[in-house]
Amino acid sequence: MTRPLLETKFYVPRPRRRLIARPRLIERLNQGAESKLILISAPAGFGKTTLLAAWLAASPDGRRTAAWLSLEQSDNQPTSFWTYLIGALQTVAPGVGVGALSTLQSTQPPIEVVLASLLNDLSALSYEIVLVLDDYHVVDASDVHDGVVFLLDHLPPQLHLVITSRADPPLRLARLRARGELAEIRAGDLRFTPDEAATYFNEVMGLDLEAREIAVLESRTEGWIAALQLAALSMQGRRDVADFVAAFAGDDRYIVDYLVEEVLQRQPERIRGFLLQTSVLETLSAALCNAVTRQDDGKAMLEALERGNLFVVPLDDRRRWYRYHHLFRDVLRAHLIEERPDDVAELHRRASEWYEQNGERPEAIRHALAARDFGRAADLVELAWPALRRNRQEAMLRGWLAALPDELLRNRPVLSNAYAGVLLVSGELDGVDARLRDAERWLDASEAPRVQAAGIVVVDEEEFRRLPGSVALHRAGHALALGNLAETAKHARRALDHALEDDHLSRGGATAILGLAAWAIGDLETAHRTYAAGMAGVQRAGHISGLVGRAITLADIRIAQGRLCEALRTYEHALQLATEQDAGVLGATADMYVGMSELHCERNDLDAATQDLRKSHELGEQSGFPQNRYRWRVAMARILEARGDLDGALDLLHEAEPLYMSDLSPNVRPIAALKARVNVRQGRVGEAVGWAREQGLATDDDLSYLREFEHITLARLLLARGSVPEATQLLERLLRAADEGARNGSVIEILVLQALAYQMRGNNPAALVPLERALRLAEPEGYVRMFVDEGPPMAALLEAAAKRGIAAEYARQLLKAFGKAEDRSAANQVLIEPLSERELDVLRLLGTDLVGPEIASQLMVSLNTVRTHIKSIYTKLGVNNRRTAVRRAEELELLARSQSQ
Amino acid sequence: MNEGGRYEIRIQGHLDGRWAAWFDGLSLTRESDGTTVIHGSVLDQAALHGLLGKVRDLGLPLIAVTQAEPKQMKGIQR
């Protein structure tokens, strides 16, 4: 961040020269420094900032180490807010938050990940810091509040937080109060007492007021400091102080209005004019004021105002930047609108020009919009886009673009395209097409930019040259988001055709999208290579885009290719990088663990698989990408299935179904098909048949990669129904397609089914042919459940294979794995309705001291699920309480099996 | 629920007529009890909260916010 105004955001205000000593409040603050949070909550004009400045300067052992952040409207969103907060901390602790900042600016991580990194850094400090967040009332975005609550919950002892606000912020204050972790200073505390008012008027301001007059002023203003200051200013140099006090007391007008008018009336015309004109500014410098007033006395004016205590507040040490006190400025603005309404737009325009010339584009844009000079604002937004895009500050653009009239945007292709890009990034797919069409109108038949077109407005020439590639890239992204693969590939290729050599962003992005499209049509080797290349390109452009960037995508492709070892390496590598670089840079860690769980499950290491899911669960439901909640449940279902708990697996799949969120990877394992497989395994063929009908699946379908999983499932269904010839025909066709695409994961499964089909026709020797190929492909990758899931029929084939020396070692290892899965306690068979695996798990825990919620946590399910299981257990055992259930279980020796599951 | 309507915001103190522009062109009525009522049509809830924010930022003591009954509706069964 190189904005020159940055310094002013972090500036720690110096204490004022002429100050009332307020030892009572200073003492409150000293004590409050022991708490997590000091909150100073009072309306404008109560001296919050003045008090803090005095306190920070007066600390017993020299200045406290204080960091300051002056918040503005534009900080009301997470990226800006946290970026500036870390920036403020870095003014006193340079190494802090470096990892957090890079995470924040790369993917769109959950804020807890960013803050965890920051909190770690803070915990390592050897000194304490006070961080002041000034004007917190400008924040009303709930996600920012949530982050601050998280920060407060985990605040290390090295950091003390002070928040000033004009309204109580929604930061769970009641809870902090109850725990004694909150120190508060409110308006009632900040008001000047009559004694303080007396000191102020007579000693600080050199007036000579009588006690009675002071009492009247104090009563009328209720100790409101800003009002007292204005009153003092109005009385300085006046002979008729008594008249003033009397008039003031008898007036009902809004105090600030009345007093400011009094003050204004007594100013020479030049000063009055200066005050009104510069009231349009948020911050003032001599040069900026001159630009706005078209005079050259800015410096002298500001110094005079500061000397006269006329409500200018310095924002840095070198007296370059000031601002007016909020109340004062608001009244000035109201006067300006009333007295010189036609001047307002012009004043904003002058400010906008000055800011642009001095390299402060966001300010220039704000003033242009305030001037309602939309043409100018549009020009500036167009120029601002590339930098904002790189820094992932699209949200800022979103607000500005929304303020511009549509007719204006239609002639500005670069801006229309930018708008489309911003909408895509924020997931607002509806408006994208219209904006892209607006941009495309300005491309000719060969899709080159129509440079000579009449009526076109282009400000950023370079972006204009990039336009064809950029528009095509946005179209590709849009098509992908809508699931339209053919369009996606078409547009991505167009983007590559049109993109300039050095446009890494467009080229990388288009390449990555082509990778995803290749995946969807089953060309997996191309998909992996292309996607990886695309991501490298995007990173070279300095972007680490959240839309398409996930290591998990590459691992998924490897699994589909049957290359489990490489997939596992991809996960492990990503996890290692994530821990090295402060979690979050490469996408959420939670997703990696779920992916690894699936691999461990396939290799029949069910303990490791469960551990992986536990680790993922501990990272919290919110910490993965949105799709993780779905994937976690599907992975858990797979583990349950491996342990023989088919009902439990179905329950989880059912839970997972509504959680499916379409991300940009193809949905190659639809949940309906997963459920159908479990049904087939349970012998509930009717339901599976229903599924096939619903999906419109038939054996003579054209085959496509997207439906491969479903068609294989259909083949299983056919075998389960005994329709062997049909199944065989389908399997043959599937095998050819899978071999063509080198999709070994599918090839192995198809070969296994072919072997079983032969077996069903009584031709065991023939079965060994596909089985041998399957074994040879599977052995180096460590597949286990692929075979073991097929049960006793497969066991028989494996024995035959071992006897004939076909992959004998491997076959024998697999045979060993069969033993575990079918080990059901004999006693469980005695019950009319045996307990499921899950129910046995619960029953086991009922024999311990754990209460319901703890059992739920241990098993990683909801409390409701546990209750359902318990009800079922009681019914099946014929009991109605916990102790009896456990006793009955012992009698039946239900829990005598090994704990190794 | 997000509809606008006619609202009255009552604050302590008298506000000069010049402030009408500040409050999005609503009307200001100074009452004899030393309060001022800011009243008129408000677009929606967000606009209402925006107005209340302005009241807050001017340091005007807020007394009451009520939804005004349109005068024509008096006596009509709902």
The residue type at A482: L
Instruction: Summarize pLDDT for A666-712 with one digit per residue, the tens.
Output: 888 999 999 999 999 998 999 999 999 999 999 999 998 989 999 99
Question: Which of A167, A253, A330 is closest, CB to CB, to B58?
Answer: A330
The CATH architecture that domain A575-821 belongs to is: Alpha Horseshoe (1.25)
Q: Which residues of chain B have pLDDT under 70?
A: 1-3, 69-78
Nearest-5° angle of CA A672, CA A678, CA A681? Answer: 145
Give the chain B residue whose CA is nearest to the CA of A46: B59
Contacting residues of A for B56, CB less than 8 Å apart: 43, 137, 166-167
Which of the given ranges, A436-440, A649-653, A748-752, has the highest pLDDT on average?
A: A748-752
Determine contact: A340 vs chain B, CB below 8 A.
Answer: no
B18–A327 CB contact, under 8 Å: no
Instruction: Check if B78 contacts A (Cβ < 8 Å).
Output: no
More confident residue, A233 or A59: A233
User: Which of A167, A255, A338 has its CB closest to that of B56?
Assistant: A167
pLDDT of residue A738: 94
pLDDT at residue A894, as a whole number: 74
Minimum mean pLDDT range among A151-165, A502-516, A680-694: A502-516
Task: Give how far Cα A167 sits from Cα of A150, A739, A846, Å.
Answer: 20, 67, 50
Q: How confident is the model at residue A655 (pLDDT cuts 50, 70, 90)?
A: confident
Residue of B38, B57, B62 to mutate, testing the A interface (most A Cβ within 10 Å of its Cβ): B57
pLDDT for A57 equals 86
Give the single-character DSSP code of A584. B
Give residue A108's pLDDT.
61
Quick check: A121 and A100 in contact, CB under 8 A?
yes
Please state, rounded to an integer, the average pLDDT across all residues of chain B: 84
Place of tokens 């966001």: A362
More confident residue, A247 or A751: A751
- Measured CA to CA in angstroms, residue B18 lies from A339, A899, B14, B24, B31 at distances of 9, 81, 12, 12, 16
Q: What are A606's two structure tokens?
A: 């069910």
Lowest mean pLDDT among A172-186, A364-378, A610-624, A739-753: A610-624
| Whether residue A870 has pLDDT greater than 80 | yes
Q: How confident is the model over A338-354, as a mean pLDDT?
A: 95
Would you state the pLDDT for residue B70?
A: 56
Judge: B57–A333 Cβ closer than 8 Å, yes or no: no
Rounded percentage of chain A residues whose pLDDT exceeds 90:
48
Whole-angstrom distance between the N-terminal and C-terminal Cα of chain B? 18
CB contact under 8 A, B14 and A333: no
CB pairs under 8 A between A and B: 53
Mean pLDDT of A450-461: 77
Inter-chain contact B22–A337, Cβ cutoff 8 Å?
Answer: yes
Above 60 in pLDDT, residue A880?
A: yes
d(CA A319, CA A93): 25
A20-37: average pLDDT:
89
Averaged over A726-738, what is the pLDDT?
A: 95
Choice among A256-265, A397-406, A579-588, A675-684 with the minimum mean pLDDT = A579-588
Cα A509 to Cα A124: distance, rounded to the nearest angstrom:
39
Q: How far is CA A99 from CA A117, A216, A580, A586, in A?
A: 7, 57, 10, 13
Please judge whether B19 and A326 are an interchain contact, meaning their C-beta atoms are less than 8 angstroms apart. Answer: no
Q: Indicate the class that CATH gives domain A6-190.
A: alpha beta
Residue A531 has pLDDT above 60, yes or no: yes
* Chain B CB within 8 Å of residue A300 CB: no
| Cβ distance of A252 and B18 shorter than 8 Å | no
Tell me the CA distances in angstroms from A141 to A40, A75, A145, A653, A878, one per residue in order: 20, 10, 7, 35, 54
Q: With respect to CATH, is domain B5-69 assigned 3.30.70?
A: yes
pLDDT tens-digit map of A810-821: 999 999 988 654
pLDDT score, position A1? 35
Instruction: Note the pLDDT tens digit of each residue in A269-319.
Output: 999 999 999 999 999 999 999 999 999 999 999 998 888 777 888 888 888
Asked if B36 reaches chain A (Cβ–Cβ under 8 Å), the answer is yes
Residue A578, pLDDT score: 65
Helix axes A326-339, A225-235, angle to 10 degrees: 60
Contacting residues for B27 by C-beta, under 8 A, at least 6 apart = B20, B38, B39, B40
Give buried/exposed letters for A211-236 (b at 16+ CB in 10 A, else e).
eebbebbbebbebbbbbbbbbbbbbe
**Contact yes or no for B22 and A334 at CB 8 A:** yes
Indicate the domain borders of chain B: 5-69
Residue A165 phi, psi (nearest 5): -160, 155
N-term to C-term CA, chain A: 54
- Tell me the pLDDT tens digit for each residue of A389-445: 776 677 778 889 989 999 999 989 999 999 998 888 777 888 999 999 999 988 877
Q: Indicate yes or no: CB of A254 within 8 angstroms of CB of B14.
A: yes
* CA A509 vs CA A429, A438, A503, A515, B64: distances in Å: 18, 22, 10, 10, 55
pLDDT grade, residue A250 (50/70/90)? confident
Please give the pLDDT value at position A901.
39
What class is the A826-891 domain? mainly alpha
B36: chain A residues, CB-CB within 8 Å = 254
Residue that the structure tokens 């990555």 belong to: A512
Inter-chain residue contact B18 with A334, CB threshold 8 Å = yes
Site of tokens 């797979």: A638
**Lowest-confidence segment of A483-487, A616-620, A848-852, A860-864 by average pLDDT:** A616-620
User: Distance from B1 to chain A by nearest Cα, in Å?
Assistant: 20
Mean of all residue pLDDT scores within chain A: 87
How confident is the model at residue A61, as a pLDDT? 62
Give the dihedral sign, CA A9/A11/A12/A16: negative
